[in-house]
Amino acid sequence: MNVQYLSGKRITSSGITNTPHTLRPGQIIQGNVLKLYPNQKAQIRLGSHKIVAQLEASLAVGGKYHFQVQPSDDVVHLRVLGYSLQNQGSGSIMELLQQLGLKPSKANAAFTRSLIKDKIPFTKEQLQQALQLLDTSKNSPQALEAIKGMISAGLPVTHSVYQALTTVNSTGMTEQIESLVFQLKQNPDQTKLQQQLVHRLDQLIKPSSASQALAKQIMTEASTDNQQLFRMLKAAGVVDAEVDFPTWKAEWAMFARQGGNVTGQLPFQLNHAEMLKMDHTLLFSSPKEQFLSQIQQVLQSTGLNYENQLAANRFHEQQTTIKSLLLQLMQQSDSAVHERSQQFLHFLNGMQIQSVNETAGGIQANLQMPGQKLGLPDDVQMEFFGHKTKDGTISPDSCRVLFHLNLARLKETVIDMHVQKRAVSITVYNDHENLTEQLTGFQSILDEGLASLHYQLSMVTFKPMHEKSEPAQQTVKTDYHKPYQGVDYRI
């Protein structure tokens, strides 16, 4: 399932950050002169916002112009590029390209026009790099949208970022993992590094045995200072009574850093058979706990925070992450393994780029993870859009969460949840017939569950998938639009 279908292409959408809250030197944007005021002032529309600017050039009411932001210590200066664009048609774009010293070809003009149409400010350098990328990608529609998204989100317009975004938006995580594991297992004489990587990848997609699940639960609890299982194992005689929790936590943390191979020897010489004597209710966590455990494992094992950890001199914590193992493998592998490893590395980089997109007023977070361990046939993809409070934290009273699922029986399904003043409205998108009648019985359970968390269920509606595309894109595009405030402009 393509997550872009319903959510406006996430961070790569030109609509998510339609117009920056602060214009930056070098950016080029189209504006309309709406009104003239006394003392050489005018009201100008830039993108979707209106501002009052100080005029130092002769502009006409109703005129449309290209402006370029100039460096300044105090007020923002806007330099007029060329003449009024009224009745110039495509010629104005050609003239702009010539003024910027860029080739005025039809393809270049079409891309530049699409940036201006979508109200995306850009610099000369960004446009130049974008046109080079677009040329190497043969001007495909997918490339055009990805590159526009890079400019819109303020990302470096480079080939590596482009590859990361196009990879993560065209394939799934499970597909990437299975392809790489298959390629690695073609070699009967796997190196220790390859074996370690295969084990790490299998942990993300293969359900564990009962004792392995318990070992993983021990690691999770130890890392969060939860002593419940530790105490129960001591009470059952599985763990020596002399072992204290700090020692227990330290040993399991070291075990996790070394790869956390729960199929082999465990810390404190724990025996798989002895652990299975424990109450089996421990092994069957609630769906909520299973879901959170899978999220935690994906975040910890993939190395999505690899660069941050390196910058904080915590290299030892990243040596056994999937991202670190991929980088090591690419330095010592043949062409086939190298190519497949590089593809998965592009995918992880794309996940990292799309993981968090923060603005002054809100935050957007995205996560994709394998669903097999949760009993799902495909990846689970989530998107979160939240607003910030005055102190910078995320407001629990207002947000939007989308779950993109491929269920065994209901197939492609999207759950779109809106929270407004703690009132929750849910829309389920699915093409399965008679879904309303089948799921109405669960509404009371949902109502009670939300009430226990101090939320109120407003409504639950069901719609077919194809009706979702356009409204969702419009919602995402208008989520964080804020007016320009407190800045003087000089033209």
Quick check: 468 pLDDT over 70? no
Q: What's the whole-number mean pLDDT along residues 402-406?
A: 93
Range in 296-310, 330-344, 445-459 the model is least confident about? 296-310
For residues 205 and 228, the model is more confident at 205
For residues 196 and 434, the model is more confident at 196
Contact residues for 439 (Cβ-Cβ < 8 A; gap 6+): 428, 460, 462
- pLDDT reported for residue 451: 94
- pLDDT reported for residue 8: 40
Where does the pLDDT of residue 456 fall: very low under 50, low under 70, confident under 90, or very high at 90 and above?
very high
DSSP H or E segment with residue 337? helix 335-355
Quick check: 182 pLDDT over 90? yes
- pLDDT reported for residue 273: 60
Q: What's the whole-number mean pLDDT along residues 236-248?
A: 83
pLDDT in tens, 306-353: 666 665 566 555 678 899 899 999 988 778 899 999 999 999 999 999
- pLDDT reported for residue 395: 92
Domain boundaries, the chain: 9-157, 175-336, 359-477
- pLDDT reported for residue 478: 30
Tokens coding 125: 């350098």
For residues 300 and 128, the model is more confident at 128
CATH topology of domain 9-157: OB fold (Dihydrolipoamide Acetyltransferase, E2P) (2.40.50)
Range in 52-61, 197-206, 465-474 the model is least confident about? 465-474
Quick check: 192 pLDDT over 50? yes
pLDDT in tens, 354-378: 888 887 788 999 999 998 888 788 8
DSSP string, 393-439: PEEEEEEEEEEEEEETTTEEEEEEEEEETTEEEEEEE---TTHHHHH
d(CA 448, CA 467): 29
- pLDDT reported for residue 81: 81
For residues 191 and 74, the model is more confident at 191
d(CA 224, CA 357): 27
Quick check: 277 pLDDT over 60? no
- pLDDT reported for residue 467: 55
- pLDDT reported for residue 90: 59
Contact residues for 307 (Cβ-Cβ < 8 A; gap 6+): none
pLDDT in tens, 62-90: 888 888 888 766 666 778 887 777 655 55
Q: What's the whole-number mean pLDDT along residues 200-218?
A: 77
Residue 52 amino acid letter: V
Note the helical H segments in 259-388: 272-275, 287-302, 306-311, 322-330, 335-355
**Mean pLDDT of the chain, nearest integer:** 79
Q: What's the whole-number mean pLDDT along residues 109-130?
A: 91
The CATH class of 359-477 is alpha beta
d(CA 223, CA 234): 18
Quick check: 17 pLDDT over 60? no
Q: What's the whole-number mean pLDDT along residues 429-455?
A: 85
Among 329, 360, 351, 355, CA closest to 342: 329
- pLDDT reported for residue 392: 83
d(CA 11, CA 126): 17
Contact residues for 95 (Cβ-Cβ < 8 A; gap 6+): 82, 88
Tokens coding 55: 């005029």
Q: What's the whole-number mean pLDDT along residues 157-178?
A: 93
For residues 318 and 124, the model is more confident at 124
Quick check: 23 pLDDT over 80? no
Q: What's the whole-number mean pLDDT along residues 1-12?
A: 38
